[in-house]
């Protein structure tokens, strides 16, 4: 047995032990029935379980990739936010370029865990993160760059420092959507997923109380922090300040999602230029990805509430970036 593989199994056993001993979420949060996705994976409906339970074959593949982690790359750039801002579409377009090789899943969620034992991929170390990326020889053969897209990275206070520790030379891409529209889209997304049962105004009023417990314990895998942070996620200035504390601004590309939605080809060229890949001759299929087909309108009182809630944060954003976004002029 290879030395790397022989060293892997004790760590796997230790990881299982730590997970068995870790505090579990309340039973009422784990009560929902497990569903089977199209690819055959068992997916829990509860967001406290942050990723699908893989099939046995997928587990074996991950073990092999972890055993070969030293031969694998770290990402050259990351799409770090924002949720519901167009990250799925941008990721899809970039994967079509022959010189861009993505992680083997879109959202790795390595840097955005909390501090609770058993709920944080970052605690599993660099071998796990590298296991999601291509082999160096494949990257060299294609003269390619590697990347991933986890839109929670920007929202997680721990993620910027963690990224700076492991991938200090990486470039970061941020899409910022009108926070009013983002919050409404986020709410209806959670309703469709069965993770929100309050009317929209009640959910907005309940948000701060819901988030207090998660913030107090730094448990950023708490389902309330992940799924019910409708207003909090739209306070972009405080999130960008956290990024800029760990990465030079020249390494962070901030995109107005409205520009991306209206002219994806132009913005895609801007992104390719930023990461250092030639856009000449590249024509991507610009079909939107992850866009709900049954969009619902919110009552006028919701727009009024959110517009007032974001008035000060939006001004802080404009001051921070010295830039005028299309949705700030409305």
Q: Quick one: how far is CA 281 from the chain centroid?
A: 30
Return the number of other C-beta atoms located less than 10 Å from residue 258's C-beta. 19
Q: Do the domain assignments include residue 150? A: yes
Is residue 86's pLDDT more than 70? yes
Q: Do the domain assignments include residue 102? A: yes
Q: What is the pLDDT of residue 297?
A: 84
Q: Is 146 helix (H, G, I), strand (E, B) or coil?
A: strand
Average pLDDT over residues 206-227: 88
d(CA 105, CA 152) in angstroms, rounded, equals 15
Q: Do the domain assignments include residue 57? A: no
Is residue 185's pLDDT more than 90? yes
Q: Is 313 helix (H, G, I), strand (E, B) or coil?
A: helix
d(CA 328, CA 306) in angstroms, rounded, equals 13
If one counts the domains in the chain, the total is: 1
**Tens digits of residue pLDDT in 42-79:** 444 433 333 444 455 788 888 999 999 999 999 999 99
CATH code at position 275: 3.40.50.300
User: Whole domain around residue 266: which residue ranges?
Assistant: 75-328
d(CA 115, CA 147) in angstroms, rounded, equals 25
Q: Do the domain assignments include residue 309? A: yes
Q: Cβ contacts of residue 230 below 8 Å, gap of 6+?
A: 183, 186, 187, 203, 204, 207
Q: Is 295 helix (H, G, I), strand (E, B) or coil?
A: coil
Asked if the bond preceding 154 is cis, omega within 30° of 0, the reply is no
Question: Kind and range of the H or E element at 148?
Answer: strand 145-149
Q: What is the pLDDT of residue 296?
A: 76
Q: Are 79 and 86 in contact (CB under 8 A)?
A: no
Q: Cβ contacts of residue 5 below 8 Å, gap of 6+?
A: 67
Q: Do the domain assignments include residue 200? A: yes
How is residue 219 written in tokens?
Answer: 């448990």
User: Closest Cα partner for 225 from 18, 25, 78, 32?
Assistant: 25
Q: Do the domain assignments include residue 213? A: yes
**Tens digits of residue pLDDT in 280-322:** 889 999 999 977 755 678 999 999 999 999 999 999 999 999 9
Q: Is 194 helix (H, G, I), strand (E, B) or coil?
A: coil
Q: What is the pLDDT of residue 330?
A: 60
d(CA 72, CA 132) in angstroms, rounded, equals 8
Q: Do the domain assignments include residue 58? A: no
d(CA 70, CA 121) in angstroms, rounded, equals 18
d(CA 306, CA 325) in angstroms, rounded, equals 17
Q: Do the domain assignments include residue 243? A: yes
Average pLDDT over residues 251-271: 97
Q: Give the torsion sign (CA, 286, 292, 298, 303).
A: negative
**Tens digits of residue pLDDT in 12-22:** 556 556 555 55
Q: What is the pLDDT of residue 17?
A: 62
């Amino acid at each position: 047995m290879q030395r790397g593989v022989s060293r892997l199994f004790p760590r796997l056993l230790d990881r299982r032990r730590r997970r068995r001993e870790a505090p579990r979420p309340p039973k009422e949060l784990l009560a929902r029935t497990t569903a089977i996705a199209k690819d055959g994976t068992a997916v829990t409906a509860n967001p406290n379980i942050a990723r699908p339970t893989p099939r046995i074959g997928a587990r074996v593949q991950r073990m092999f990739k972890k055993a070969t982690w030293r031969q694998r790359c770290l990402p050259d750039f990351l799409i770090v936010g924002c949720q519901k801002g167009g990250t799925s579409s941008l990721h899809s377009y970039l994967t079509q370029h022959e010189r861009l090789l993505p992680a083997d899943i879109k959202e790795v969620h390595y840097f955005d865990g909390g501090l609770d034992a058993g709920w944080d991929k970052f605690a599993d170390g660099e071998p796990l993160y590298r296991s999601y990326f291509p082999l160096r020889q494949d990257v060299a053969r294609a003269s390619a760059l590697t990347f991933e897209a986890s839109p929670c990275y920007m929202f997680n206070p721990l993620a910027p420092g963690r990224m700076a520790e492991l991938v200090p030379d990486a470039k970061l891409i941020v899409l910022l959507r009108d926070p009013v529209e983002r919050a409404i889209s986020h709410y209806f997304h959670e309703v469709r997923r069965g993770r929100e049962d309050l009317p929209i105004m009640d959910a907005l009023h309940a948000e701060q109380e819901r988030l207090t417990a998660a913030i107090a314990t730094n448990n950023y895998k708490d389902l309330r922090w992940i799924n019910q942070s409708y207003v909090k996620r739209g306070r972009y200035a405080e999130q960008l300040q956290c990024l800029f504390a760990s990465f030079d601004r020249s390494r962070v590309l901030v995109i107005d999602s409205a520009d991306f939605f209206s002219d994806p080809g132009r913005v895609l060229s801007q992104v390719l230029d930023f990461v250092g890949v030639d856009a000449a001759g590249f024509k991507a299929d610009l079909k939107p990805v992850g866009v709900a087909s049954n969009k619902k309108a919110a009552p006028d009182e919701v727009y009024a509430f959110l517009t007032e809630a974001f008035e000060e944060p939006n001004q802080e954003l404009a001051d921070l970036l010295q830039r005028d976004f299309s949705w700030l002029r409305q």
